[in-house]
Structure 1
């Protein structure tokens, strides 16, 4: 996915709340929007270089969106809305071998008490796909979540329910960087999520992870990653 707006570099100063941060751009402290409500504490460090996309508009409080962070001279995408867009684009363009030949693709599909990111349908199959963006990398390992997630755990159990009702059920972890060796759930941070994921695997819920190619002017799904539960 191409980034068509102007991209500028700055240096992170501090996060004000879940949605806003202060960034130094050419010596001027600028208020920017943070499109990720996760903690991202290992990324949002004072002084680190960041990339900002200019998204000016009369209804916006800020003129810049913090879209990428440099971690050890390598880029990490932090836009939490991007994984859904990338997966949707890749599936529609038949770029993922795990999801081929679907005639109907719908975003935001309701099932039970949850809303899954994608609903896919073809002649002999109906499928739900829940997508999780991953920005946390520790010693070459991509992991999720970076904070306890009751909502994420609920989604996994709803996928188990969907599988038991005859749907194909999948979790796709979109790792928003290209320098991790494999993916694993962050059971140290959230044991219940890791337990739910392992339970899902035993009943046939499919678990996939893809890395992303991240550059200043584009981001796209790169290649499948090993998943270790």
Structure 2
């Protein structure tokens, strides 16, 4: 997907809380919104280069969103709203082979007491629920999730297992918001309960997809699958 709004380069200064950061743009320190509640500590390093997306909304307190950072010349997108948009585009372009038979794509659909990112279906009455998780944590080409404890993430996995139990398709897709990744695994040292839930989901028949992205300063698109190590 192309980022249609203007993107500019700035220098990261500090992040006093999860929602805002200070950056140096054209010699002036300004406050910007951070659309990601994860830690991103290995990306948002003082003095590092970051990308800002201009948001021309008069009701906002900040003019820019901090959407990506450079790490060793690699662009890592950190916008938490991006993964669902990228996956939506990939589903419509039939890039995810196992899911190409579903031609009806719906966003944010409820099943029982749960709401999933996607409900997929087709004219034969087959249904599939898909949850998407954005991944921004990487060390030496190896990516992991989550970068902060996530009770919500564990809950989604357990709910997908319940979907699978009644004969409906279910899967979770980890979208790595960067390129050149060797493999993916749950970050057990950060959240062991999530790792246990992911392995249980896999054993219960829930599909696990992992894809990396091609990322530029004004675009991000799903590219190729990545090896999963559970």
Q: TM-score range by the shorter chain?
A: over 0.9
Deviation by residue 1:126-153 (Cα, 9 ceiling, x = unmatched): 1000000000001211100001110000
Alignment of 1:111-130 (within 5 A): 111-122=111-122, 123-130=124-131
Match of 2:103 in 1: 103
Match of 1:183 in 2: 184
Match of 2:205 in 1: 204
Pair 1:75-2:75 in alignment: yes
The alignment partner of 1:98 has SS state of: helix
Deviation of 1:124 after TM superposition, in Å, equals 4.4
Deviation of 1:93 after TM superposition, in Å, equals 2.1
Distance 1:45 1:114 in 2: 37
The alignment partner of 2:162 has SS state of: helix
Distance 1:103 1:22 in 2: 43
Distance 1:228 1:125 in 2: 29
Deviation of 1:99 after TM superposition, in Å, equals 1.3
The alignment partner of 1:91 has SS state of: helix
Deviates more, 1:207-216 or 1:103-112: 103-112
Match of 1:35 in 2: 35
Deviation of 1:105 after TM superposition, in Å, equals 1.3
Deviation of 1:16 after TM superposition, in Å, equals 2.3
Deviation by residue 1:37-72 (Cα, 9 ceiling, x = unmatched): 111111111111001111121111111111110001
Alignment of 1:139-158 (within 5 A): 139-158=140-159
Match of 1:65 in 2: 65
Q: Which runs of 4+ in 1 moved over 3 A?
A: none
Distance 1:129 1:102 in 2: 12
The alignment partner of 2:67 has SS state of: strand
Distance 1:45 1:112 in 2: 42
How many pairs does the alignment contain? 229
Match of 2:55 in 1: 55
Distance 2:79 2:43 in 1: 13
Pair 1:89-2:89 in alignment: yes
Deviation by residue 1:104-143 (Cα, 9 ceiling, x = unmatched): 2111111233211000011142100000000000121110
Q: Is the 8 A contact 1:112 1:158 kept in 2?
A: no
Distance 2:213 2:53 in 1: 18
Deviates more, 1:163-172 or 1:116-125: 116-125
Match of 2:171 in 1: 170
Pair 1:25-2:25 in alignment: yes
Match of 1:224 in 2: 225
Q: Is the 8 A contact 1:15 1:21 kept in 2?
A: yes
Structure 2: tracts of 5 or more residues without a match:
none
The alignment partner of 2:180 has SS state of: coil
